[in-house]
């Protein structure tokens, strides 16, 4: 590595005297034809100094990924206007040769999903070495040696051996290290990271974020960091820009924006974020939805959803105005709004223990996948069975929420499917109100089927695309004989839709006409149509934006209070669990390693794994872990 180590003090802004590594000037990106085209990004400007880490925060549809790819001029379906200056050269004006020479050498990319970003048919060492050969004119041997060095630098153990592996032979965290090594292969000036930890478990995420910080310090590479997760951005970035509906609405140092936001949208996002430190009764969601970006009005784009909206907000577009050193916000009311923080009061209406008998008991449930072949013939493939759920015993109290938390592969979803009767357990029983119920849902009695309903993780896949909302929500009503005449049925469906704040006008819509949050509300309405005793929620908000997640979580709490329904809540997000659970069970490798009330588990975790999980959560305060770049760490 020949770059001079450059110390970057935390939370201080690098001087702007030097030429910026990246300067984005008035960039707009339009998809489709001009008149009716989708104006995904509108007039965005920002600059990144050498060695600086700049975070772009935004929810889905904010245009953050379009911007990230525009920096490498990779917007196949869109039209980019404005200037993107990379070390003083306009990316949009480059010849194809110059562009190809800049990609991978001056600017390179780290992707959201490393598994699909790596070529499955090529050894990872070669995937790194070819970049070196391409841009450095190195011979095969030297390029391979450089690849091995890089793999060592991203702290992969035995890099010379890893280099010979194929992507599928590595874990998700290891794959992302390979992608980072590939990005750094030619010492670029700028690394664009598009949600680099979104697909990773929280403990892996923490290690990767540390690695990014270490490498940045050691190599002095500037970073454009795209994320929807404010905690993650806080761990890495010096400065932050907040994108809403294709516009930069606020920009400033990480501390300014995340601790003292001055735009109603940023404030709304912060208040919608469930954290493990406070278990407030309600999360503050942001009502409404993204505006239609095909017809952007001459107004503040956030006005329809804004709590502080004034008359002037709907007649002119506010400019980015300075509110502090380096801190700018796009709001007419910038001097009047203050962050209305949700009171950190320990409004824990949770404390009282559930009394009486539990509603549902899971007793010694086991489930394995794959089994030994009965005949050990030489030409039959032999598989070792994997124990996904290993002797799990849990109680779900009446009218309360039991949250099962774990990382991917912990067996939490398998457990949920066993309870729902979608998968038969190999051993153990499930008791509903003290009586054992049949393992498969089709063998259960009608009242038992009705008592247990399911909300799936991915609302896109869980709703029949050929049915209207009315048919979807009305189906369980008909099935369980809860409504007989069509007028009666429709009234009940409307009632259910009202309860999830959708209302009558959604009756005739099809799933593809709904946003992600609306689809999940339909799923909830469907689950509650049967008037269940227990609703199994399998990561119901992990596919949703933070502002929508808050609304859905509030909804679930309201419905629980109104109907006294119990929840089995499966999640990997400790903040969400802290917010919604009355009891928490931590699951790892198919076993429950710790359980208790949220206050117990999060306040004083006993098991080392729980402690590691909690320590790994990216919070808004930057954490410092083993800082030396050359520290070798145990693999995640």
Torsions phi, psi for 457 (to 5 deg): -65, -45
Q: Judged by CB under 8 A, which of 36, 88, 120, 325 binds another protein? A: 120
Burial level of 492, CB count in 10 A (0-12/13-18/19+)?
middle
Please tell me the count of residues contacting another protein according to CB under 8 A. Answer: 31
Of 490, 552, 473, nearest to 515 by C-alpha is 552
Q: How far is the CB of 512 from another protein (least distance, A)?
A: 21
Binders of another protein among residues 14 to 73 (CB under 8 A) are 72
Q: Judged by CB under 8 A, which of 137, 141, 168, 624 binds another protein? A: 168
Query: Strand (E) positions, 399-530?
Result: 401-405, 427-432, 435-436, 452-455
Q: Is 436 in the site for another protein (CB under 8 A)?
A: no
Q: Which stretch binds another protein (CB under 8 A): 54-62, 119-127, 261-269, 567-575?
A: 119-127
Q: Is 94 in the site for another protein (CB under 8 A)?
A: no
Q: How far is the CB of 84 from another protein (least distance, A)?
A: 15
Of 146, 111, 153, 105, nearest to 125 by C-alpha is 146
Q: Is 119 in the site for another protein (CB under 8 A)?
A: yes
Burial 228-251 (b: 16+ CB within 10 A, else e): bbbbbbbbbbbbbbbbbbbbbbbb
Residue with tokens 């208790």: 596
Q: How far is the CB of 457 from another protein (least distance, A)?
A: 22
d(CA 53, CA 239) in angstroms, rounded, equals 7
Q: How far is the CB of 109 from another protein (least distance, A)?
A: 5
CB-nearer residue toward another protein: 15 or 121: 121
For every residue of 251-293, which 3-state class applies, written as one string? Answer: EEEHHHHHHCCCCHHHHHHHHHCCCCCCCCCCCCCCCCCCCCC
Residue with tokens 């001029």: 73
Q: What is the dihedral of CA 436, 437, 439, 443, to 10 degrees?
A: 150
Q: How far is the CB of 386 from another protein (least distance, A)?
A: 15
500, 553 contact by CB (below 8 A): no
CB-nearer residue toward another protein: 180 or 402: 180
DSSP state of 15: P
Q: Judged by CB under 8 A, which of 81, 116, 310, 445 binds another protein? A: 116
CB-nearer residue toward another protein: 74 or 562: 74
Q: Is 467 in the site for another protein (CB under 8 A)?
A: no
Q: How far is the CB of 47 from another protein (least distance, A)?
A: 22
Contact string 199-228 vs another protein (x = CB under 8 A)? ------------------------------
Q: Is 135 in the site for another protein (CB under 8 A)?
A: yes
Residue with tokens 């990316």: 91
CB-nearer residue toward another protein: 196 or 532: 196
Burial 58-79 (b: 16+ CB within 10 A, else e): bbebbbbbbbbbbbbbebeebe
Beta-bridged to residue 511, according to DSSP, are none
* Encoded tokens for 537: 């929620």
Q: Is 137 in the site for another protein (CB under 8 A)?
A: no
Q: Is 117 in the site for another protein (CB under 8 A)?
A: yes
Q: Is 109 in the site for another protein (CB under 8 A)?
A: yes
Q: How far is the CB of 266 from another protein (least distance, A)?
A: 30
72, 111 contact by CB (below 8 A): no
Residue with tokens 């809860």: 482
Beta-bridged to residue 368, according to DSSP, are 387
Q: Which stretch binds another protein (CB under 8 A): 112-120, 256-264, 432-440, 595-603?
A: 112-120
Q: Which stretch binds another protein (CB under 8 A): 93-101, 350-358, 415-423, 576-584?
A: 93-101
d(CA 549, CA 534) in angstroms, rounded, equals 21
Torsions phi, psi for 111 (to 5 deg): -105, 165
Q: Is 375 in the site for another protein (CB under 8 A)?
A: no
Q: Judged by CB under 8 A, which of 28, 30, 62, 108 binds another protein? A: 108
d(CA 168, CA 186) in angstroms, rounded, equals 25
CB-nearer residue toward another protein: 102 or 455: 102
Q: How far is the CB of 70 from another protein (least distance, A)?
A: 12
Q: Judged by CB under 8 A, which of 121, 375, 487, 634 binds another protein? A: 121
* Encoded tokens for 433: 């109100």
Q: What is the dihedral of CA 71, 75, 80, 85, to 10 degrees?
A: 20
Q: Is 381 in the site for another protein (CB under 8 A)?
A: yes
Q: Is 384 in the site for another protein (CB under 8 A)?
A: no
Q: Judged by CB under 8 A, which of 42, 103, 177, 583 binds another protein? A: 103
**What length does the chain have?**
636
SS3 at position 225: strand
d(CA 167, CA 97) in angstroms, rounded, equals 29
Q: Judged by CB under 8 A, which of 1, 25, 92, 101 binds another protein? A: 101
Q: Is 141 in the site for another protein (CB under 8 A)?
A: no
Q: Which stretch binds another protein (CB under 8 A): 110-118, 280-288, 527-535, 546-554?
A: 110-118
Q: Which stretch binds another protein (CB under 8 A): 98-106, 206-214, 326-334, 565-573?
A: 98-106
Sheet of strand 534-538, all strands in order from the earlier edge strand to the far edge? 452-455, 534-538, 566-571, 401-405, 583-588, 591-596
Q: Which stretch binds another protein (CB under 8 A): 27-35, 113-121, 526-534, 609-617?
A: 113-121
Q: Which stretch binds another protein (CB under 8 A): 51-59, 99-107, 340-348, 391-399?
A: 99-107
DSSP 48-81: E-TT-EEEEE--TTSSHHHHHHHHTT--TTEEEE
Neighbours of 321 (CB within 10 A): 14
Binders of another protein among residues 523 to 542 (CB under 8 A) are none
Q: Judged by CB under 8 A, which of 83, 87, 134, 387 binds another protein? A: 134
Q: Which stretch binds another protein (CB under 8 A): 19-27, 96-104, 337-345, 542-550?
A: 96-104
C-alpha triplet 252, 296, 56: angle, nearest 5°: 25
Beta-bridged to residue 242, according to DSSP, are 57, 250
Contact string 335-374 vs another protein (x = CB under 8 A)? ----------------------------------------
Q: Is 130 in the site for another protein (CB under 8 A)?
A: yes
d(CA 182, CA 270) in angstroms, rounded, equals 34
CB-nearer residue toward another protein: 146 or 622: 146
Q: Is 146 in the site for another protein (CB under 8 A)?
A: no
| Positions that interact with another protein (CB under 8 A) | 72, 74, 99-105, 108-109, 111, 113, 116-122, 130-131, 134-135, 166, 168, 179, 182, 378-379, 381
């Amino acid at each position: 590595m020949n770059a001079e180590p450059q110390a970057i003090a935390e939370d201080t802004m690098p001087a702007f005297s030097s030429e910026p590594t990246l300067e984005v000037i008035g960039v707009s990106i339009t998809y489709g034809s001009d008149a009716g085209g989708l104006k995904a990004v509108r007039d965005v400007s920002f600059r990144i100094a050498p060695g600086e880490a700049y975070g772009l925060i935004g929810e889905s549809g904010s245009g953050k990924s379009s911007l990230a790819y525009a920096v490498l001029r990779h917007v196949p379906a869109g039209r980019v206007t404005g200037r993107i200056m990379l070390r003083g050269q306009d990316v949009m004006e480059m010849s194809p040769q110059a562009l190809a020479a800049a990609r991978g050498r001056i600017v390179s990319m780290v992707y959201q999903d490393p598994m699909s970003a790596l070529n499955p048919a090529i050894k990872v060492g070669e995937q790194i070495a070819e970049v070196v050969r391409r841009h450095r004119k190195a011979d095969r041997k030297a390029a391979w040696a450089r690849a091995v060095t890089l793999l060592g630098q991203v702290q992969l153990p035995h890099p010379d051996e890893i280099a010979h592996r194929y992507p599928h032979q590595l874990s998700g965290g290891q794959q992302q290290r390979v992608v980072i090594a590939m990005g750094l292969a030619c010492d670029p000036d700028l690394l664009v990271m598009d949600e680099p930890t979104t697909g990773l478990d929280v403990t892996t995420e923490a290690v990767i974020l540390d690695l990014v910080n270490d490498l940045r310090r050691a190599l002095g590479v500037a970073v454009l960091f795209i994320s929807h997760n404010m905690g993650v951005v806080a761990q890495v970035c010096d400065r932050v820009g907040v994108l809403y509906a294709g516009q930069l609405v606020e920009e400033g140092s990480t501390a300014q924006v995340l601790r003292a936001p001055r735009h109603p949208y940023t404030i709304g996002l912060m208040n919608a974020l469930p954290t493990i430190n406070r278990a407030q009764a309600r999360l503050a969601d942001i009502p409404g939805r993204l505006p239609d970006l095909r017809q952007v009005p001459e107004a503040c784009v956030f006005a329809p959803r804004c709590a502080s909206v004034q008359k002037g907000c709907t007649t002119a577009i506010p400019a980015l105005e300075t509110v502090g050193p380096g801190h700018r916000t796009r709001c007419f009311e910038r001097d009047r709004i203050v962050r209305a923080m949700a009171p950190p009061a320990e409004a824990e209406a949770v404390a009282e223990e559930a009394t009486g008998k539990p509603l549902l008991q899971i007793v010694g449930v086991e489930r394995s996948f794959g089994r030994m072949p009965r005949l050990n013939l030489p030409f039959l493939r032999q598989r070792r069975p994997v124990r996904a759920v290993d002797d799990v015993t849990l109680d779900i109290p009446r009218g309360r929420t039991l949250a099962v938390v774990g990382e991917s592969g912990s067996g939490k979803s398998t457990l949920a499917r066993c309870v729902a009767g979608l998968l038969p357990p190999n051993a153990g029983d499930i008791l509903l109100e003290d009586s054992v119920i049949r393992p498969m849902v089709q063998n259960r009695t009608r009242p038992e089927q009705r008592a247990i309903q399911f909300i799936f993780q991915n609302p896109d896949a869980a709703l029949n695309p050929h049915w209207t909302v009315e048919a979807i929500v009305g189906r369980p009503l008909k099935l369980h004989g809860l409504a007989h005449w069509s007028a009666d049925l429709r009234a009940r469906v409307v009632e259910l839709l009202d309860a999830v704040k959708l209302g009558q006008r959604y009756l005739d819509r099809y799933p593809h006409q709904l946003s992600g949050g609306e689809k999940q509300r339909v799923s909830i309405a469907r689950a509650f149509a049967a008037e269940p005793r227990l609703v199994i929620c399998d990561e119901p908000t992990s596919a949703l934006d933070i502002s929508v997640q808050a609304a859905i979580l509030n909804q679930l709490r309201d419905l629980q209070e109104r109907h006294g329904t119990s929840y089995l809540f499966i999640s990997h997000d400790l903040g969400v669990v802290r917010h919604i659970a009355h009891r928490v069970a931590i699951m790892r490798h198919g076993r429950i390693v710790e359980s208790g009330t949220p206050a117990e588990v999060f306040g004083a975790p006993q098991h080392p794994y729980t402690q590691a999980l909690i320590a790994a959560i990216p919070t808004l305060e930057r954490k410092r872990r083993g800082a030396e770049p050359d520290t070798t760490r145990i693999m995640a």
